[in-house]
Amino acid sequence: MGGIMKQYLKHLIMSLVLVLSILLISVPAEASSTPEVSYSNQSITSFMLKPNFMSNSWTGFRDAYIDLQIDKSGIAHFYTLVCASNSKYYCKITMKLQRYKNKTWTTLTSGTCTSKSDNMYSRSYYVSKGYKYRVYSKAYIYKSKNGKLINSDTFTKTKTRK
């Protein structure tokens, strides 16, 4: 089996393990009196695993997924998953939840997560009715920890809470 095929299979298996581990550790968010529900990195509810899939044709990236769902109680669940094309690369995700009001996107919550090879960052946040919301994520692929930037890209997903 060629080196490229072995590397692809390794990344595929790692992605499957990541998704399965997320399913096993997922904890549904519950509404509370504070607007911020969860800062939990690496946790996600199972209904969110219907991502927007981005093409894997650009340098440094193997796959990228992003999603935003708003449940009946008004909790926005959102995540970004980035898989590097090389297991030695580092992925950095800067993710924001934004609200559209008065013709402007305003950031409600944001955070950054860095990991080797594959990286997933998920959050939950209470949102008000009647507004449009979006997840705005910038993903960076580095050759090594604190190394040279290989590539970056921006991903967005928008939903309205009615």
Is residue 19 a part of any domain in this protein?
no
The pLDDT of residue 133 is above 80: yes
pLDDT in tens, 105-118: 999 999 999 999 88
pLDDT in tens, 61-76: 988 999 999 999 999 9
Is residue 151 a part of any domain in this protein?
yes
Question: Which domain does 125 fall in, by range?
Answer: 61-161
Q: pTM higher than 0.75 for the full model? A: no
Q: Which of 7-11, 56-60, 80-84, 107-111 has the lowest mean pLDDT?
A: 7-11
End-to-end CA distance of the chain: 52
Q: Give every CB contact of residue 87 below 8 A, 6+ residues apart in sequence.
A: 7, 10, 11, 14, 116, 117
Is residue 113 a part of any domain in this protein?
yes
Is residue 99 a part of any domain in this protein?
yes
Per-residue pLDDT at 45? 38
Tell me, what CATH number does 75's domain have?
2.60.40.10
Is residue 110 a part of any domain in this protein?
yes
Query: Which one, of 101, 103, 94, 104, lies nearest residue 136 by Cα?
Result: 94
Q: Indicate the number of domains in the chain.
A: 1
Is residue 37 a part of any domain in this protein?
no
Is residue 98 a part of any domain in this protein?
yes
Cβ atoms of residues 60 and 67 within 8 Å: no
